[in-house]
Each structure stands twice: as C-alpha cells, then as structure tokens.
C-alpha cells in the first residue's frame, strides 16, 4: 500500500500536543490524517487533514472515525475500547491493539500483568474503593508511607500521590486504586521501545528524569542518562522484555526505577509517544513521533541513536496564574545556542498545566544541563 501522497488515511484518537507533534511527521510524508478530540481548541485542529470534535470515550463517535480511515492509532489511552475491538474485528488495523490498551489502561491490571510475566516491579496491593484502602491503613495491613495511584485515567502529575499520613487520604478521588510500596531509588529512568507492524524492534537510549518535588511532574529529561553502561544495558533489556510481553505495535515508553543496589523495577508504561522522548525531535536521528508513524505503518524503523546530548525542559503553567497564556522571556531563551521551544497551542494556562517544552542540545552534557537550568529559570508561563 502506498501511504505517501495517496488516498490512505491515518486516524488519530486524541488531538493534544502528542498528536500535534505526530502531525509534523505525517505532513513531512504527505500522509492524510483524521483526528478526533473533545476540545474545539485542541492543538491538532490546524495540522490534521480533517479534524472532528467529539468524545473519545463514546462508542459511536470512535466508530464513526474508524469507518473513515485505513489505520487507527492513539495519542491518549483513555479511549473507548469496545469501539476499537469492534473495528479490529471488522478488519481495521488498530495500533496499539485494544488488547494491549486493555492491559495498560487500568494500572491495577498493568501491575498484575508484570507479576504474571515475572517482570520486576514494586510490591503493591489493589483496592476496589478508597474506603477499602482507608480500612487497610487503619488496620495496619498497609503501612505508611506508600504511593497511591488511581487505577483508571491518571496521568503525569495527576492521580499519583505519596501518602505519608492518614489525613493525606482525605483529598484523594473515590475510585479504584493501588497502594504501592515506596521504593528508595537512585534514579527514575525511561526507555522507549519501537516495534513495527512488520516485527522490527529497536530501543532508544536510556533517559533520566528529574522531577518537580511538589507537582510530581518531570522537570528535566536527560539523554543519555548519567548512569553506567551496565545499568543502561540492564534497563534496555528490561524494556525489551516488557515490549515482548505486551506484544504491542508502535511505541512503548517504559518508565523505571534504578534502586540503590542497581536493580531495575518497572514503574509504568505508555503505549504511545511520551514526554520522555520529546528530546528526540532535535537530538536523535529519528524522532519518536516519526518512529511511531513508521512502526504502525510497517515501514523500516529509523536510527534511534542520538546525534548529540539532549535535555528536555517541560514548560508548565506558573503557580498562581490562570487565563490567556503569555510566554514571558521566550525571546531570551531563543537567543541561546541549541535551544528550541515547542509551544503546544493551548490558549489557556493554569498552574502546572503542560503548555510546551524546550529542547537543549549540546556536544557537552554538563554544558547542556547548565543551559537547561538557565532556560528553566528564565522562561515563565503566565497569564495576561
């Protein structure tokens, strides 16, 4: 099948920033794209061949998009799986498959899957309600501190909280959840695995993530991670094992902990382009977004090596600002060599909302990290 300058149509469920960056690649290849998203201000509305406003969890609306396209992919996991299963049965290629998404969409199922497949992960207990978790804490069945994760619908900075006292439980959502043992770790790492519809498989270099202490959001993604070759090899090997177990097509971002004795434990996975791979747009031979397109279409996978050291800084809304967005001092960071801002196109800012990212590339990692710090301290996402 010819994908380029042809009648072929790629469907994308979700029209946020990940979709927007995917569209940069489909436009480069002249591939038609149909995108569905609930927001009339979705970042994808301008880059898609056709943009439809609709509910990603609605069976009929997902079916309607699927009927118009030749291959369907996602940029967010929270989509109607029953519709995807029906479309797949009717012969539509859906990547990642609904089967993979069903395993990943619920964090409790995801954790059970690691145990079943003997993949290393932190000990955990599942709870059908918040009330049952509270009872387990009261009876000392679960000991403080621990990490609470909502089972369904959580995302970076939302749906994950460290519980240090019983009162911390009061602010949590009433929902199915897991209580995960807190693991003392040296580093949070991630590896993106690309697996094509034709069966080819490649891993990107290990990246290291530095987190914001309050918002539980990644502040810096550093590639290559500042770890030994031995730990790097181990992390890539674990990521490959996870990828094989899920049998996914497309990208799989595997987030991991490196413990103090250099064991690797899986934290969680995302079956799509991921925040930990944004550095690749400027720093890699093949960006994660181009790789995802190559993988789901069964095209040859591109080189995953980095050309240069890369650091990604998330641009999130400053605390205390809500409303029409202003990127203060953006001109100052653009005057620095090797600095590229990516603005997602969200018109409204609010505290800690992801509004964009900045990539810093440099031959020298230490220099790149210093520039990243300068960028972080200079640019501010505020409101009018």
The interaxial angle of helices 81-89 and 98-105, nearest 10 deg, is: 160
Residue reference for tokens 């940069």: 24
348 is in an annotated binding site: no
Q: State how beta strands 218-223 and 264-270 pair.
A: unpaired
1 is in an annotated binding site: no
For residue 281, count CB atoms less than 10 angstroms from its CB and return exposed for 0-12, middle for 13-18, buried for 19 or more. buried
Instruction: Please say whether the beta carbons of 278 and 291 come within 8 A.
Output: no
| Cα separation, 18 vs 21, whole angstroms | 5
Collapsing DSSP states into helix, strand and coil, what is residue 124? strand
| Cα separation, 224 vs 217, whole angstroms | 20
230 is in an annotated binding site: no
| Cα separation, 158 vs 136, whole angstroms | 23
β-partners of residue 126 are 178
Encoded tokens for 263: 């064991």
296 is in an annotated binding site: no
Distances (CA, A) of 369 to 246, 253, 275, 354: 34, 23, 18, 21
161 is in an annotated binding site: no
149 is in an annotated binding site: yes
291 is in an annotated binding site: no
Distances (CA, A) of 370 to 189, 316, 336, 339, 342: 20, 19, 12, 12, 19
| Cα separation, 276 vs 380, whole angstroms | 21
188 is in an annotated binding site: yes
Residue reference for tokens 């995807």: 84
92: DSSP letter? -
Instruction: Please say whether the beta carbons of 257 and 188 come within 8 A.
Output: yes
Instruction: Please say whether the beta carbons of 217 and 315 come within 8 A.
Output: no
Instruction: Please say whether the beta carbons of 216 and 157 come within 8 A.
Output: yes
Distances (CA, A) of 353 to 59, 155, 314, 322, 382: 28, 12, 10, 10, 11
Pick out the residues of the known binding site for ATP.
107, 149, 180-183, 188, 267-268
Pick out the residues of the known binding site.
107, 149, 180-183, 188, 267-268
């Amino acid at each position: 099948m010819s994908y380029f300058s042809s009648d072929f149509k790629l469907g994308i469920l979700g029209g946020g920033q990940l979709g927007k960056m995917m569209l940069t690649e489909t436009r480069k290849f002249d591939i038609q794209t149909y995108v569905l998203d609930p927001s009339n201000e979705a970042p994808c509305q301008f880059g898609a061949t056709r943009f439809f406003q609709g509910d990603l969890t609605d069976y009929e609306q997902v079916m309607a998009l699927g009927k118009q396209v030749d291959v369907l992919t996602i940029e967010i996991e929270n989509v109607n799986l029953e519709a995807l299963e029906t479309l797949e049965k009717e012969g539509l290629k859906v990547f990642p498959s609904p089967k993979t998404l069903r395993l990943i969409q619920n964090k409790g199922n995801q954790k059970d899957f690691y145990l079943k497949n003997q993949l290393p992960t932190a000990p955990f207990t599942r709870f059908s309600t918040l009330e049952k978790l509270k009872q387990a804490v009261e009876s000392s069945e679960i000991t403080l501190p621990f990490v609470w994760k909502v089972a369904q619908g959580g995302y970076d900075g939302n749906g994950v909280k460290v519980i240090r006292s019983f009162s911390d439980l009061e602010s949590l959502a009433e929902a199915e959840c897991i209580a995960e043992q807190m693991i003392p770790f040296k580093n949070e790492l991630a590896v993106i695995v690309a697996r094509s519809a034709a069966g080819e498989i490649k891993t990107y270099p290990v990246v290291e993530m530095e987190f914001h202490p309050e918002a539980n959001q990644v502040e810096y993604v550093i590639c290559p991670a500042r770890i030994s070759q031995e730990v790097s090899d181990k992390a890539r090997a674990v990521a490959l094992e996870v990828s094989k177990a899920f049998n996914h097509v497309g990208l799989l971002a595997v987030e991991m902990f490196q413990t103090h004795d250099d064991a690797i434990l899986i934290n969680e996975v995302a079956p799509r382009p991921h925040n930990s791979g944004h550095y690749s747009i400027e720093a890699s031979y093949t960006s994660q977004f181009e790789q995802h397109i190559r993988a789901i279409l069964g095209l040859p996978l591109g080189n995953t090596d980095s050309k240069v050291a890369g650091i990604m800084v998330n641009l999130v809304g400053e605390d205390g600002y809500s409303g029409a967005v202003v990127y203060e001092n953006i001109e100052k960071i653009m005057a620095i060599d090797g600095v590229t801002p990516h603005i997602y196109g969200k018109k409204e800012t609010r505290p800690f909302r992801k509004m964009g990212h900045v990539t810093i590339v440099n031959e020298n990692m230490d220099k790149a990290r210093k520039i990243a710090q300068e960028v972080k301290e200079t640019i501010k996402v505020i409101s009018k």
